[in-house]
Amino acid sequence: MAAPTFVSYNSTTSAFTATGATKSTASISWQSGDVVVAVLGAENTNSITLGVPTVSGLTFTMQKQNNPGTASSTCASMVATAVAASSSSGAVSSTATGSNSGTLFWGMGVYVFRGSAGVGNSAEQHTSTKTVSLTPTGADSAIVWGVFDFAGAHTNTATPTATHNEVAINNSNYDVNISDLDDQVSAGAASYGVTSTSAGPFSIVVVEVKAGAGGGASAFDIPQLGMTGVGF
């Protein structure tokens, strides 16, 4: 199986350390069959609900979301995915709602992967545990995970070792890490998150982007009878 190809990553303006009810990325491009992954997080879940991302030409499906608008002692978080039906481009947006939607820090990062068989498994957790386990549907998937540390003001390091550490923010409001592993060679369970001296709690979301579907050998790859000496 061929691992998906990382195409691009874009964050909303000011990454994750700005307020505002609606946030958008710069314009991104995708081709038919691409998998687009959006990771969202806010410094708190108190009276804020992060909206499922939108952009003309893609329909995002929420995979995991922390109970928004309720508990005040964890970070809001979400991972959502879309599979492109055709090639296009546009700025991905999300609108937060709730009485604190315009006053809390929050943001969104958006990935594009190519050559994938689609979206696989996902997982989440919102406790003092720094990682969450995910068992992919198969080997050679790409894995994307986001970690939002409610305690803030700590240096958190992605684990396992990432292909790209797209966001590593150390902020007094909350800490943000968004990372990807572009080829998880194991089909077994693995833990994704951060190493840190922080006590959290940590809101973690992780999703699998499946490896390519692959295919059987072509006629040119299969020895013909005449080439093997059979019948001669």
> Taking Cα atoms as reference points, which of 115, 114, 125, 120 lies closest to residue 143?
120
Burial 99-135 (b: 16+ CB within 10 A, else e): ebbeebbbbbbbbbbbbbbebbebbbbbeeebbbebe
Range of the domain at 22: 5-213
Cα–Cα dist 84/86, whole Å: 5
pLDDT tier at 169 (50, 70, 90 boundaries)?
very high
Total domains, the chain: 1
In a domain, 95, yes or no: yes
Instruction: Give me the count of residues in the chain.
Output: 232
Q: Does the structure show a pLDDT above 50 at 59? A: yes
Per residue in 198-230, pLDDT tens? Answer: 999 999 999 999 999 753 333 333 333 333 343
Cα–Cα dist 128/196, whole Å: 11
In a domain, 54, yes or no: yes
**Residue 50's pLDDT is what?**
95
In a domain, 36, yes or no: yes
